[in-house]
Amino acid sequence: MRRRIKKLGLNEPSAPAGARMPRHIQDFNRARRGFYVPPDLEPRYAELLRSGLPIEEARQQLGIEKD
């Protein structure tokens, strides 16, 4: 699906502002990263990482606290 979206030049759909991630996914991401990124900040977080910004700097820019 992502290939088709990219090929057509469309933007990937993002989660609605009030959307919540299932608890098991939140727990998995928190354990993997060491901190939780809220769903509304997830696209910006991914964009910062793709631009080459280190994880700690991206976390600080978005105001995300470590657990």
pLDDT in tens, 25-41: 888 888 888 888 888 89
pLDDT at 18 over 70: no
Q: What is the pLDDT of residue 53?
A: 92
17 pLDDT higher than 60? no
CA distances from 57 to 22, 54, 64 (A): 26, 5, 10
| Contact partners, residue 65, CB within 8 Å, separation at least 6 | 35
The structure's pTM equals 0.61
Share of the chain above pLDDT 70, in %: 87
Give pLDDT, residue 61.
Answer: 93
